[in-house]
Structure 1
Amino acid sequence: MLDKAKDARCSTPDLQFCHEYGRLWTAAVPSLLCNSFRQYRTAANLTLINFRKLNFANPATGAQKSIEIDDDRKTRIFWEKRMSQDVEIDALGDEWKGYVVRIGGGNDKQGFPMKQGVLVPYRVRLLLGEGHSCYRQRRAGERRRKSVRGCIVAADIQALHLIIVKQGEQEIPGLTDEASIQPKRLGPKRANHIRKFFNLNKEDDVRKFVVRREVTGKKEGAKPYTKAPKIQRLITPGRLQRKRHLRSLKIRKTEAQKEQKAEYEKVVAQRQAEKKAAVQAHREAAKAARKA
């Protein structure tokens, strides 16, 4: 009966057009309602409320790994925690038992980054300039007001950056196992860093311990050769001589300035004496004129 009534209602072309137009309008209403930013944000929160992404970094191996957590209850261990705070993550699963991580940062569901020092669990607008995090100036001296997320973790955080501080009982594949170790491509370059790396004394020659790397030429059939970085802050006889030369220049410049100052003070004293004598002679002449 309802189908027959519907067909009868839409039998004429005009009524059929109105029915189709109303159906299209009903389908378009949700997209039109999401034009404002607040309603779009609410819709995004509803769709992403049960989704979290945790980005782990292990400084010991240099590896990084990202995992997705669907259960919102597991991420409650990070709520009301601040950036740079250590958290035990046993609640994430048995494989994470004994692990301790440090919160390095994160982003909320609209992509705004967390900023250290902003002690609020929501988003604020700050006037940022050169040297501030979460901002890169385009022109010299430029400042802009930007939206940043506070450093306190809450339910609206979408992704968290975590740094492993203490390793747990089990190894995580791709993060803490031996296969995940990322070897360094370049060795230390600064002289003190080379000494620390090889446990050297000040008397040892650092140039013998530079880490060289093999390089293959771009041309076909080219022989491979080795390259070594230029050692920075290396104390050499030439550098000591240059330092002594600069020190002697500074001393000579100071002595020359003292001589110039003495000559200037001598000339000033002579001019003041001449002026004083001229004033005295003028007074005596005026006094003699009055007596006459």
Structure 2
Amino acid sequence: MKLNIAYPPTGCQKKLEIDDDGKLRAFFDKRVSAEVDGEGYVFKIMGGHDKQGFAMKQGVLTNTRVRLLMSPGDQGFRGHGRRSGERRRKSVRGCIVSPDLSVLNLVIVKKGEGELPGLTDEEKPRMRGPKRASRIRKLFNLSKEDDVRKYVNTYRRTFEVKGKKHSKAPKIQRLITPESLQRKRRR
């Protein structure tokens, strides 16, 4: 079984493959969103899928596969190419962990004593920041009078084309500038 472990504070994620069912016994017969202790760390089961790719569904209290009558918008049923409101039977996996699963998704809720290499020891920075002006203000704690455009430089790219230096930054959405106010007044 593969364990897909995520640690949200650092933004890192690691995949481990464990063949020994004895080591995985702590997870068996536990439900989705249950917490499991493991050497100082506390893991929360977020979901998983079996060897055929059927995802676990919250609220289906079984460890086998069942066929549920689903409507568009339900988890595990997209509803494309159907009549509006049409319901179909779809196979899903129950929310109880069993040895039949191929992947189990876990999240570290509480960090233990030692570091897990590649998971808790290094931090992965967010590549993209917010694009909307109000969200940039919220992130950097700015007032309405402060210029938001200076703070976009945190993710501005500079590159060279034919010897000339160019810099590129994402377009700020909903940015209120004197030009935009003037355009609004002219309407």
- Category of TM-score, reference length = shorter chain: 0.7 to 0.9
Q: Is the 8 A contact 1:130 1:136 kept in 2?
A: yes
Question: Please, which of 149, 165, 168 is the counterpart of residue 227 of structure 1?
Answer: 168
Partner in structure 1 of residue 34 of structure 2? 85
Matched, 1:111 2:85: no
Partner in structure 1 of residue 91 of structure 2? 147
* Displacement over 6 Å in runs of 4+: none
Deviations 1:130-165 (A, max 9, x none): 322223333253653211001122333232011122
Matched, 1:171 2:120: no
- 99-108 or 231-240: which moved more? 231-240
Partner in structure 2 of residue 259 of structure 1? none
Q: 1:164 to 1:223 in 2, by over 3 A?
A: farther
- 166-175 or 199-208: which moved more? 199-208
Amino acid at match of 1:216: F
What is the aligned-residue RMSD (CA, Å)? 2.8
Equivalent pairs counted in the alignment come to 182
What is the distance in 2 between the residues matched to 1:66 and 1:212?
29
Structure (1 or 2) with the larger CA radius of gyration: 1
Partner in structure 1 of residue 137 of structure 2? 195
Question: Please, which of 128, 146, 156 is the counterpart of residue 213 of structure 1?
Answer: 156
In the TM superposition, residue 213 of structure 1 has moved relative to its aligned partner by 1.8
In the TM superposition, residue 54 of structure 1 has moved relative to its aligned partner by 0.8
What is the distance in 1 between the residues matched to 2:181 and 2:81?
38
More helix by share: 1
In the TM superposition, residue 123 of structure 1 has moved relative to its aligned partner by 1.3
Q: 1:192 to 1:168 in 2, by over 3 A?
A: farther
In the TM superposition, residue 120 of structure 1 has moved relative to its aligned partner by 2.6
Residues 19-38 of structure 1 mapped to structure 2, 5 A cutoff: none
SS in 1 for 2:26: helix
SS in 1 for 2:173: coil
More strand by share: 2
Q: Gaps spanning 5+ residues in structure 2: where?
A: none
Q: Gaps spanning 5+ residues in structure 1: where?
A: 1-51, 91-96, 246-292
Identity %: 58
What is the distance in 2 between the residues matched to 1:138 and 1:212?
37
In the TM superposition, residue 187 of structure 1 has moved relative to its aligned partner by 1.7
Q: Is the 8 A contact 1:214 1:224 kept in 2?
A: no
